[in-house]
A and B are shown apart, each in its own frame.
Chain A
Amino acid sequence: MTYTVQVTVMPLKELLDPQGKAVMGGLSNLGLSNVQDVRIGKNITLQVEAGSADAAKEIAETAAKKLLANPVMEYFEVAVN
């Protein structure tokens, strides 16, 4: 069957995220001073044809490792819906 798999790709925690920093400044200007930090990544939704949820997850993990994320600058999480 077809599984919907969400791949979340985020910049590594130790790296400066200028985009998140800019949005953080915007939120402060809005008066939302309780927001302590903003980091921006990508959410990639895959439709995966597989025999089981685990198999779909494995395929998505391969996709993330080989193309969707670059481990030098990003980490990823995979969730099957």
Chain B
Amino acid sequence: MKFGVVVFPGSNCDRDMQEALQNDLKQEVVMLWHKDKDLSRFTTNDCIILPGGFSYGDYLRCGAIARFSPMMQSVIDFANSGGKVLGVCNGFQILCESHLLPGVLLRNANQQFICKNVYLKGVGGADKALKIPIAHGEGRYFADEATLNELEANNQVIYRYCDEKGQITAAANPNGAIRNIAGICNKNRNVFGMMPHPERACTSALGNIDGRIILKTLIMQPQPAFV
């Protein structure tokens, strides 16, 4: 399989993602410019990644303008035809604004930009809580009750904030996300969005390789095993 990483004006985790996939996970990566729209070299066995950053300066709402870029029209078609799409941080916000995932990411409850390691319970974390960094000002996941109940009933919550021992507690929730939600997927299980940055935890040079577990189990396996 190969990976496409979309570069929007204001993306700033695109090269981190490229680095992690190419050098740490030994995958083929193609960088995709937001003004292009050609995804013909990708098949539904491949994966398109929307990286973190501040696409279009976060103007209007995070991800709201990126949704209308030429490349996103192709990414939406790619997702709807079954191709894998992963959005990290700003990429998650773009997926929500594009209606590929339900809900929205609101301003952090504590009014602060938070940049720190957190622990996650979810896909690939059956044995231990995964330590992954977050870096966002708008990461408080929110959706109405009906949507949340549907997400849980369909096992679409892929990550929740937890403590080091894997306990999902209010104290372990960094941004006030409803039901501690850090990441979700769509019903068809081919579109994934998460606020934490697995690409920042893929090399022992950075002292943490838990991110590899996430990238491997979530998008490099045919069907991710849900916890």
A15 contacts which chain B residues (CB < 8 A)?
Answer: 106, 142
Instruction: Take A72-B143, A73-B104 as given contacts and tell me if A16 and B60 are in contact as well, using a CB distance cutoff of 8 Å.
Output: no
A68 at the interface (CB under 8 A from B): yes
B129 CB, min distance to chain A CBs, angstroms? 27
Chain B 82-117 against A: per-residue CB contact (8 Å), 1 yes, 0 no?
Answer: 000000000000001100000110111111000000
A17 to B104, CA, bound (A): 14
User: Is the beta-carbon distance between A72 and B111 smaller than 8 angstroms?
Assistant: no
A68 to B97, CA, bound (A): 12
User: Is the beta-carbon distance between B103 and A72 smaller than 8 angstroms?
Assistant: yes
B58 CB, min distance to chain A CBs, angstroms? 13
A51 CB, min distance to chain B CBs, angstroms? 27
B176 at the interface (CB under 8 A from A): yes
A60 CB, min distance to chain B CBs, angstroms? 15
B111 contacts which chain A residues (CB < 8 A)?
Answer: 18-19, 21-22
User: Is the beta-carbon distance between A18 and B107 smaller than 8 angstroms?
Assistant: yes
A30 contacts which chain B residues (CB < 8 A)?
Answer: none
Interface set, chain A 12-29, CB cutoff 8 A to B:
15-19, 21-22
With an 8 Å Cβ cutoff, the count of chain B residues facing the other chain is 18
B64 at the interface (CB under 8 A from A): yes
Chain B 57-92 against A: per-residue CB contact (8 Å), 1 yes, 0 no?
Answer: 000110010001000000000000000000000000
User: Is the beta-carbon distance between A70 and B61 smaller than 8 angstroms?
Assistant: yes
A71 to B38, CA, bound (A): 31
A67 at the interface (CB under 8 A from B): yes
User: Is the beta-carbon distance between A70 and B110 smaller than 8 angstroms?
Assistant: no
B151 CB, min distance to chain A CBs, angstroms? 13
User: Is the beta-carbon distance between B176 and A70 smaller than 8 angstroms?
Assistant: no
CB contact between B64 and one of A16, A22, A70 (< 8 Å): that residue: A70
- Measured CB to CB, the nearest residue on chain B to A74 is B61
B60 contacts which chain A residues (CB < 8 A)?
Answer: 67-68
A70 to B68, CA, bound (A): 14
A72 to B80, CA, bound (A): 22
User: Is the beta-carbon distance between A18 and B109 smaller than 8 angstroms?
Assistant: yes
Chain B 177-201 against A: per-residue CB contact (8 Å), 1 yes, 0 no?
Answer: 0000000000000000000000000
- Measured CB to CB, the nearest residue on chain A to B68 is A67
Interface set, chain A 26-81, CB cutoff 8 A to B:
67-68, 70, 72-73
Question: Which residues of B line the A interface, CB within 8 A?
Answer: 60-61, 64, 68, 96-97, 103-104, 106-111, 142-144, 176
Q: List 9 A-B contacts (CB under 8 A).
A: A15-B106, A16-B109, A16-B176, A18-B107, A18-B109, A18-B110, A70-B61, A70-B64, A73-B142
Known interface pairs A70-B61, A72-B103; 16 further A-B residue pairs with C-beta atoms within 8 A, sorted by A's residue number: A15-B106, A15-B142, A16-B176, A18-B107, A18-B109, A18-B111, A19-B111, A67-B60, A67-B64, A68-B60, A70-B64, A70-B97, A70-B104, A72-B142, A73-B104, A73-B142
